[in-house]
Amino acid sequence: MVNRERLLASFLDLLRINSPSRQEGDVAVFARRALEEMGFQVCQDDAGQAVGGQTGNIVATLPGASDDAPRILLCAHMDTVQPTDGIRIIREDGIIRQEGAAVLGADDKAGIAVILEGLQSALESGGRLGQIQVLLLICEEIGLLGSKHLDISLVDSDFGYVFDSGRPVGHLVSEAPSHDNIAVQITGKAAHAGVCPEEGASAIRAAALAISRMPLGRIDRETTANVGVISGGTARNIVPEKCEVKAEARSRDESKLQRQVAQMRQAFEDAARETGCTAEIEISRQYLGYKHSREAPLVQLALRAAADIGITMDMLPHGGGSDCNILNEKGLPCAVVGVGYDRIHTPEESITEDELVRCAELVRALALAAGDA
């Protein structure tokens, strides 16, 4: 069994460390000490220099007693959204939350705490373990910068689990979308709106026309699209020469994503041409999607571990991206696992002590199931 009091103590210690993105140094020191005490060899990559942060990503390796066991990796991120400085932690009726305008930071310190405790208790159980790696990333909250800059040559695992999702504990995000950003700069021609509007070409009108023609919102079960920002024009009485639009599209099906993005591009090009404007369109891939079947070894091991502790593990598709997308893209098959926190990125963020314990038990069961495979 996991040590409930030890888990809660280390979780609370982690919460008290202020660690917004690029300032994860103290969390890294805390985690490094805990991992080294368990016998892990801990190293740090150069991602910190690349992003101007206090520390790089932590990659820790525990050599396995069992050579034929799958080598698993357990991942969480060390940064939190702001503000977390000066939080007042409240423990009440088995719920951990904070009082005031700050954010608790259970996302993702709960992930770190359950990994540390789950592994500690797996080691204490005396069960046979395979090689285990722990990956603690920086700068997740500001565009997955830690995973994007991760030195993947330090990772030597067959597959991994990213502990960074809400309730319920143990749900497995087995599918996540690819994501494209679309930046559009429309250029028309300025003219006095009252004196000679016919001499102008309205960039705002072109944008409006294009947006009204493109499919947006939930396109289908796997695909979404959104225009998130629009800005343009300089004054009420000037036909606007410039309009900038920021949009995105995501799909768990690559061909559907390409079709959606092509439609959006076409709508901007057509509308610009029809209104005497030009459109400069830039499409950039944010991350690649992933999909793991029930038969995948990483899913099979997770299902076995969940069964060992008596919980059902639901496989859920997800509409967002995470470090997990980047790790999959870098060649490490992995899936996101629910940690059990609630209302993240708000002052009401909370997690129950029972969920935290259950998730640490899942980590322990994963480590033992892998060693026993």
Binding site for Zn ion (CB under 5 A): 107-108, 164
Contact call for residues 366 and 303 (beta carbons, < 8 A): no
Annotated active-site residue in 24, 45, 79, 175: 79
Rounded to whole angstroms, the Cα distance separating 303 from 306 reads 5
Whether residue 93 contacts residue 179, with contact meaning beta carbons closer than 8 Å, is answered with: no
Residue in the structure block whose two tokens are 């805390």: 30
User: How far from 252 is each of 249, 287, 288, CA to CA, in Å?
Assistant: 11, 11, 9
Tokens linked to 171: 């749900």
Residue number, 34 or 344, with CB nearest to Zn ion:
344
Question: Closer to Zn ion at the Cβ: 24 or 107?
Answer: 107
Query: Do 106 and 349 contact (CB within 8 A), yes or no?
Result: yes
**Residue closer to Zn ion (CB basis): 164 or 355:** 164
Nearer to Zn ion, 107 or 349 (CB): 107
Instruction: In angstroms, give the least distance from the CB of 191 to Zn ion.
Output: 49
Least CB distance to Zn ion at residue 87 (A): 17
Q: How far is the CB of 81 from Zn ion (least distance, A)?
A: 9
Phi/psi for 47 (5° steps) reads -60, -30
The closest alpha carbon to 251, from 292, 219, 283, belongs to 219
Round to whole Å and give the CA distance between 176 and 43: 29
Residue 139 is classified by DSSP as -
Please identify, using beta-carbon distances, which residue of 100 and 320 lies nearer to Zn ion: 320
H runs (alpha helix) in 309-352: 323-329
> Rounded to whole angstroms, how far apart are CA atoms 80 and 39?
27
Closest distance to Zn ion from the beta carbon of 33 (Å): 23
Q: Is 79 a catalytic residue?
A: yes
Q: Is the separation of the CB atoms in 12 and 361 below 8 Å?
A: no
The catalytically annotated residue of 24, 45, 108, 140 is 140
Q: State the nearest-atom distance from the C-beta of 249 to Zn ion, in Å.
A: 23
Which lies closer to Zn ion via its Cβ, residue 144 or residue 203?
Answer: 144
In the annotation, is 329 catalytic?
no
Q: At its nearest, how many Å lie between Zn ion and the CB of residue 173?
A: 12
**How many whole angstroms separate alpha carbon 272 and alpha carbon 206?**
5
Residues belonging to the active site:
79, 140
